[in-house]
Structure 1
């Protein structure tokens, strides 16, 4: 059922009283409402105004919250994209420098040369195969704690192996090779530290959200206090009538 009717009638201009204004305004309303009394009409008008104001406030609140959350997500995605780009650039630089590494020219025994060559091959394999896949997973889910931790763990393993290779290059290889590998290791280690800070931030936010949900569930599961009962006793005992005290006897003369 439609509440309002279309009509070409209009209110006369000029000063009118409150009752005439309401009568004029309610000409367009449903007949059931049109013939109500003035007090009922005023209540309906106040109710409609209250509903409209609440709806407008709710819309304003939603429009204010949505951009802030969207801005937070966009800024986090931008930070992750910058971090992933730096990891990719560092991985490519390390891979190029390791490809030019000549461990067979180092001034050491064959066993040490073999260990250094094996470490360089392992690092290059990781940079070529594992790192790009981890970057794709993290780019698809920037807020995933699992994806962030996998990349951090891989960078941590790379830094452990890379540090040993850098030490060997400084001890047995030429100076320029040591400088190149040392610079690459510094960039990789810095990225590892930034990933550690990011994981700490994500775990803190996850713990706070988990605590909030637990408190919410605990509050919902808490039983409501029993309703207090008021007992009304209509049968009051009748007060006992007191017997009048005997008047004191006058002494006989």
Structure 2
């Protein structure tokens, strides 16, 4: 007898001095020492604390969701086995575990925050318990956050004008395209920082007047500022007068 949570599947008396026992320790068996007893026609003997049940090492089988955007806060479910007694899970650089709950031996819920500047790409996720540590390689992915446009300066220009425009917002790193709509050509643009783009644009002389939607595309997606820029009518210019003189009293 090995005590609670341990089943003796079979045993063999090899000799007067040895027994071989095949045992199964239940997955939910309490950890700690067990007294081991052997009974013969001559009586029973017990070895106090003769056997110890150790915590099983944890295993991580899945993460859900398995990805999140830069700057995002979300709840993540870690599924596996032998998670009881887990300390704080580790999601790698740029990800903070704000809180976590061991829901049971097969599940942990972790509330995490991904830093706005966290490097994109995969992360290994680790869980440590009294039984050891398990790591799910590439278990979580940090995705680029979608861009947002908050303002355009200047937000208007005349037909036929060439000008530099500053676009302000967030998550502009890696921008691949800037669009000001019909009749406006983006000659070049520079991503000055994660929050600013400078675009050099030319408004066609024949461009229709009125508002334009301005879009920025990055690896994280596309954002559009509706009516973010306005094409104004070009001011008139006088180039010549003919004839450029007349006499008093002349019509």
TM-score bin (small chain):
under 0.3
- Give the structure, 1 or 2, with the largest relative contact order (CA under 8 Å, sep 6 or more): 1
Q: Which has the larger radius of gyration?
A: 1
Instruction: Name the TM-score, length of structure 2 as normaliser.
Output: 0.22
Instruction: Name the TM-score, length of structure 1 as normaliser.
Output: 0.22
Greater helix fraction, Structure 1 or Structure 2: 1
